[in-house]
């Protein structure tokens, strides 16, 4: 099939890469180049980088509500438009261009977690499973019927690993849907509006440590974090990103108040609003990634007693 693909992050790029093996990609739409990561230089999105490797024509419009963009899209004569984490709303004029419509690879088990951050919200909510659905796009926010879904256990998978796993499942599901669509054998399922939940975008600083957080809540924040949305806390006077943490359930562990830090049995433990967590991996600002024990080695007095993490001195 002739496919126009629309997407932006690595999740979408993984799906696009798989499509190249099975279908003709006649054009790729993605968000404009932006400053990504630490650098100050403009960088292409992962989807654009993937498309350029395959010598595919790339479009980076600021809006899809432009007559020139609509004409360019029609000129590509797609059989279907496939969308994955594009980051833009498709207007009615775009939805009507392709004979087979627009298919969206949405990273949730619809109708749960419609919206911008379904993977992170599933982790933060403590869901047992995450998944992907292939949805027929319409004007509403992730409201269309879906034809296939795939699920996986969340367990203790970090958000970036879970995202990559869901991208692989999404690519397989999309290929299955395209074959069924072309053969006229596709079956659509309406979403149950009674079970809708929304996945609002992760706000800046939302995953940072707070003294009000529970132990489980903090561990979920760390698990849901990524380069785009890191989980920060000020440790020993230094802004630090926590990369891995777990709940401490050892009955012999000392009792710490929320915000206290201690090296106990070579484990860096921290008090929360209702219990303890162990900081397994941390990256202090300007330093390399290190385990909790290595980080604690440079903190004065931490082996002797619990101290407020913001008042410790390296």
Is the Cβ–Cβ distance between 65 and 95 less than 8 Å?
Answer: no
Give the model confidence (pLDDT) of 245-295 as tens digits: 999 998 888 888 888 888 888 899 999 999 999 999 999 988 999 999 898
301: containing domain: 215-308
How does pLDDT run across 192-206, given as a tens digit for each residue? 999 999 999 999 999
- Distance, in Å, from the CA atom of 63 to the CA atom of 48, rounded to the nearest integer, reads 17
185 lies in the same domain as 60: yes
**pLDDT for res 197:** 96
| Same domain membership, residue 72 and residue 125 | yes
Q: Is residue 256 part of a domain?
A: yes
- For the stretch 38-62, pLDDT in tens is 667 889 999 999 999 999 999 999 9
**Structural contact between residues 248 and 239, judged by C-beta atoms closer than 8 angstroms:** no
**CATH code: domain of residue 126:** 3.40.50.170
Strands 34-35 and 42-43: antiparallel
Kindly state whether residues 162 and 282 are assigned to the same domain.
Answer: no
Decide if 313 is inside a domain: no
Here the CATH number for the domain that contains residue 293 is 3.10.25.10
pLDDT value at residue 314? 34
pLDDT for position 33: 87
Asked if residue 283 and residue 179 are part of one domain, the reply reads no
Residue 175 and residue 293 in one domain: no
Give the chain's domain count: 2
Tell whether 185 and 294 lie within a shared domain. no
pLDDT at 71: 96
Check whether residue 11 and residue 49 sit in a common domain: yes
Cα distance between residue 142 and residue 186, in whole Å: 19
**Nearest Cα to Cα of residue 269 among 258, 287, 217, 311:** 258
């Amino acid at each position: 099939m002739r496919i126009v693909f629309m997407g932006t992050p690595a999740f979408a790029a993984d799906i696009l890469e798989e499509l190249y093996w099975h279908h003709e990609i006649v054009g790729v739409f993605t968000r404009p180049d932006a400053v990504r990561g630490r650098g100050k230089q403009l960088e292409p999105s992962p989807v654009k980088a993937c498309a350029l490797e395959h010598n595919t024509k790339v479009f980076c419009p600021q809006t899809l509500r432009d007559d020139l963009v609509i004409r360019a899209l029609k000129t590509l004569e797609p059989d279907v438009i496939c969308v994955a984490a594009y980051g833009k709303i498709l207007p009615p004029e775009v939805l009507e261009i392709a004979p087979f419509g627009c298919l969206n690879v949405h990273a949730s088990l619809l109708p749960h977690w419609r919206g911008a951050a379904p993977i992170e919200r599933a982790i933060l909510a403590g869901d047992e499973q995450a998944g992907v659905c292939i949805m027929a796009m319409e004007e509403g926010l992730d409201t269309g019927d879906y034809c296939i879904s795939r699920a996986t256990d969340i367990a203790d998978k970090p958000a970036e690993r879970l995202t990559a796993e869901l991208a692989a499942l999404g690519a397989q599901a999309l290929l299955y849907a395209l074959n069924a669509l072309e053969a006229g054998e596709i079956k659509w399922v309406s979403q149950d509006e009674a079970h809708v939940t929304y996945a609002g975008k992760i706000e800046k600083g939302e995953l940072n440590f707070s003294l009000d957080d529970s132990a489980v809540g903090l561990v979920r924040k760390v698990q849901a974090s990524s380069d785009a949305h890191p989980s920060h806390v000020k440790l020993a006077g230094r802004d630090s990103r926590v990369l891995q943490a777990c709940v401490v359930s050892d009955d012999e562990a000392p009792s710490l108040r929320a915000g206290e830090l201690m090296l106990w049995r070579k484990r860096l433990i921290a008090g929360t609003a209702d219990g303890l967590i162990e900081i397994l991996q941390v990256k202090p600002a300007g330093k390399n990634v290190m385990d909790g024990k290595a980080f604690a080695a440079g903190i004065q007095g931490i082996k002797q007693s619990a101290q407020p993490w913001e008042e410790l001195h390296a």
